[in-house]
Structure 1
Amino acid sequence: GRKKLKVVVDAGNGMGGVTAVPLYRALGYEVVELFTEPDSNFPNHHPDPTVVENLQDAIKAVKETGADLAIAFDGDGDRIGVVDETGRIIWGDELMVLLSRAVLRDKPNSTIIAEVKCSQNLFDDIESRGGTPLMWKAGHSLIKAKMKETGAALAGEMSGHIFFADRFYGFDDATYAGARVLEILSNTDKTLSELLADLPETFSTPELRVDCADERKFAIVEKIAEEFSQTNKVITIDGARILFENGWGLVRASNTQAILVLRFEADTEENLRAIQEKVEARVTEMIS
């Protein structure tokens, strides 16, 4: 058997701790609680696990307690953030690599959905393990509809919304997603960082937000797609994901705000910079 796992649960004074703490204890895990009392003033940090600053307490607790990982929740408990035993943040697309590997071991050939902001590593990894990766639009209602339509076993977003149809009901429950991470860890002698050590190193930007008037944002994305498609392959499922030889750049209009969302990924810092400069230059010209 394996040593008893120790997990830090940081609920950020949202609702996540109410379900996660008793469940994880009942499953036999040792839980270190951080801010698990619901308090809508959020006196410690805002419960949004996609923000680096909000995960600092969890990182510190992992290092101080020697925990195997930390699991952090958003306010209503449908988004998850994970920190490995070294204190490194595992973002949504990397977490999806871990989860999709486990799902594909149980259910080979499954369809797995991830949104357009996710790393190329995720899509490649799913494919290399015999799964069918499907790139789709960001937004939990859109993802849920696509899962129903395709019979996908798993779906996920950068934002930490993880949807399991495998052994679950197809909606985004972060307590459940965390339990699946704990299950994976308890069935191996490897640490969380070791389980993901074989992923190719890539360099990426966080989501970059650029102000852009509502009435112009969709037209600009369309124009970017059109222009770059002269020279590059462009995926237009949700915005424009422009493929370069050693990376990609995404330009999409936010559905909710007067902004464009940009993200970039490449195999080296240098290539990342080059792709980013090329795409940003055109976006800036069009906006001004």
Structure 2
Amino acid sequence: MSTPRHASPAPEIFKAYDIRGIVDTVLTPDAVRAIGHALGSEARARKQAAIAVGRDGRLSGPALATALADGIRAAGVDVIDIGCVPTPLTYFAAHELGCDSCVSVTGSHNPPDYNGLKMVLGGQTLFGDMIRDLRRRIAEDDLANGAGELRTADVRAAYIDRIASDVKLARPMKIVVDCGNGVAGGIAPELFRRLGCEVVELFCDVDGSFPNHHPDPSKPENLQDVIRALRDTDAELGLAFDGDGDRLGVVTKDGEIIYPDRQLMLFAEDVLARVPGGEIIFDVKCTRNLAPWIRARGGKPTMWNTGHALVKAKLKETGAPLAGEMSGHMFFKERWFGFDDGLYSGARLLEILSVRPDANAALKALPNAVSTPELNLKMNEGEPFELVKRLKASAKFDGAQDVITLDGVRVEYADGFGLARPSNTTPVVVLRFEADDAAALARIQSAFRTAIDGLWPGLDLPF
């Protein structure tokens, strides 16, 4: 048996939805070059001739993108380098350039010392076994050979033109845009000005050390600068983006965070007005208020697994016009391409709110409940899956109306729900609670505390 041409990359970087790890510790240029060679080989097996490669603003991006391109080309597949752009623009490039395949070199919302790869081949987002198969190709030296070409392209103008030609605001709006020094800063202010907005920019210079706050709008502490700017200016709405621009955070004029499951209500109402009876997909972390809202507007609500790749696969399978996740990923198939795009979601939100005289009132009128953000129970590698397995098998939740085990354990009560699911990206159990009032929330949390303590004593629970 021949010796493989590449040393096998660390197994822990091959995640459920992408490849991700600490740069120069496990995610080295050599590892990325090997993965590129495997990806190029898989592309050839799928009759894909070229792959668009973009990268976010992380300091390690240029070296890793170069290594990736070298690996892809070694398999005889062409690379189209589209430069430093948000992940949604990399997805857009696959459509715009006609290659149907792309890779974004991005660490998303992970700390600055992380980076990774989000991969699409022939219009299919790679996840699960497809990602594990890249590792197999490297280990078994199942690699194609060739000499692919390298060329460059700039799709930013086409992206902005495409959105501006379709999304129309009924009136000018003044907004705060916080990019957290992530890569969205290179395009978001220009896009929203093109749509007719006056933009108050916060941290829109791209800086991969993230000197101001972490670019993760799902965490309330990262939205405090937006809240202050809305208080101190006459802007009427705040938009915040994550490190690679595929997730959106929204803040009202008076400082209330509108979490993505409530954003999805507005998007669903808007889409269903043009797609009667349409199916709207949402993940298990979303509010109980969402399904009845969709049904009341003639839509078909579908709860699904968390994970951008899994939601995209479900969107493709069902032909649904819209999907969304509690994490902030929104997927518009109606009028767009079906990939998750925080910038485009922001544009669609502004279009909806621009016909309302008071954006603040429109957002605050959305059904709400007493709820927690996502809470993370830190454990050792592998343990979150074991704990949730035990919860499924033996936990008793008295008074529950339903226990949904689609993705983790979601326990539905008449007045709220609790959720525990293992993260597919980090060794944590993700918990979320929602109820009609504070007393019900405390009762549901107590039931989960008792169940978890009974199965795995001594954990430092985050609630």
* TM-score, shorter chain, exceeding 0.5: yes
Tell me if the contact between 2:215 and 2:243 (Cα under 8 Å) persists in the aligned partners.
yes
Separation of aligned partners in 1, 2:420 and 2:241: 28
Percent identity (aligned): 48
Where structure 2 has 5 or more consecutive residues not aligned to the other structure, the ranges are 1-168, 458-463
Separation of aligned partners in 1, 2:172 and 2:399: 54
Correspondence 1:1-288 to 2 at 5 A = 3-189=171-357, 191-226=358-393, 227-228=395-396, 232=400, 233-288=402-457
| 1:285 aligned partner, one-letter code | G
Separation of aligned partners in 2, 1:215 and 1:74: 27
1:135-177 residue CA offsets vs partner (Å, 9 max, x unmatched)? 1111100010000001111111111111111100000111111
| 2:428 aligned partner, one-letter code | I
In the TM superposition, what is the alpha-carbon distance from 1:216 to its structure 2 partner? 4.1
| 1:218 aligned partner, one-letter code | F
Tell me if the contact between 1:92 and 1:158 (Cα under 8 Å) persists in the aligned partners.
yes
Larger relative contact order (Cα-Cα within 8 Å, sequence gap ≥ 6): 1
Separation of aligned partners in 2, 1:229 and 1:281: 9
In the TM superposition, what is the alpha-carbon distance from 1:246 to its structure 2 partner? 0.8
What's the C-alpha RMSD, in Å, of the aligned pairs?
1.8
| 1:208 aligned partner, one-letter code | L
| 2:377 aligned partner, one-letter code | V
SS at the partner of 2:281? Answer: strand
1:173-206 residue CA offsets vs partner (Å, 9 max, x unmatched)? 11111000110111222x2332234444411122
| 1:171 aligned partner, one-letter code | F
Tell me if the contact between 2:174 and 2:199 (Cα under 8 Å) persists in the aligned partners.
yes
Where structure 1 has 5 or more consecutive residues not aligned to the other structure, the ranges are none
SS at the partner of 2:289? Answer: helix
Distance 1:193 1:284, change over 3 A: farther
Separation of aligned partners in 2, 1:230 and 1:51: 32
Tell me if the contact between 1:14 and 1:40 (Cα under 8 Å) persists in the aligned partners.
yes
In the TM superposition, what is the alpha-carbon distance from 1:38 to its structure 2 partner? 0.6
Tell me if the contact between 2:240 and 2:250 (Cα under 8 Å) persists in the aligned partners.
yes
Tell me if the contact between 1:228 and 1:234 (Cα under 8 Å) persists in the aligned partners.
no
Tell me if the contact between 1:49 and 1:73 (Cα under 8 Å) persists in the aligned partners.
yes
Tell me if the contact between 1:121 and 1:199 (Cα under 8 Å) persists in the aligned partners.
no
| 2:405 aligned partner, one-letter code | T
SS at the partner of 2:263? Answer: helix
Tell me if the contact between 2:383 and 2:427 (Cα under 8 Å) persists in the aligned partners.
no
Separation of aligned partners in 2, 1:112 and 1:229: 29
Separation of aligned partners in 1, 2:383 and 2:212: 38
In the TM superposition, what is the alpha-carbon distance from 1:42 to its structure 2 partner? 1.3
Worse-superposed segment, 85-94 or 222-231: 222-231
1:224-264 residue CA offsets vs partner (Å, 9 max, x unmatched)? 23434786311111001111121111111111222211111
| 2:372 aligned partner, one-letter code | T
Tell me if the contact between 1:161 and 1:172 (Cα under 8 Å) persists in the aligned partners.
yes
SS at the partner of 2:205? Answer: coil
Count of aligned positions: 287
SS at the partner of 2:337? Answer: coil
Separation of aligned partners in 1, 2:324 and 2:453: 30
Tell me if the contact between 1:209 and 1:261 (Cα under 8 Å) persists in the aligned partners.
yes
Rg (Cα) greater in structure: 2
1:45-78 residue CA offsets vs partner (Å, 9 max, x unmatched)? 1111111111111111111112110111111111
Separation of aligned partners in 2, 1:215 and 1:33: 41
Separation of aligned partners in 1, 2:172 and 2:396: 52
Tell me if the contact between 2:231 and 2:253 (Cα under 8 Å) persists in the aligned partners.
yes
| 2:448 aligned partner, one-letter code | V
Worse-superposed segment, 94-103 or 140-149: 94-103
In the TM superposition, what is the alpha-carbon distance from 1:222 to its structure 2 partner? 3.0
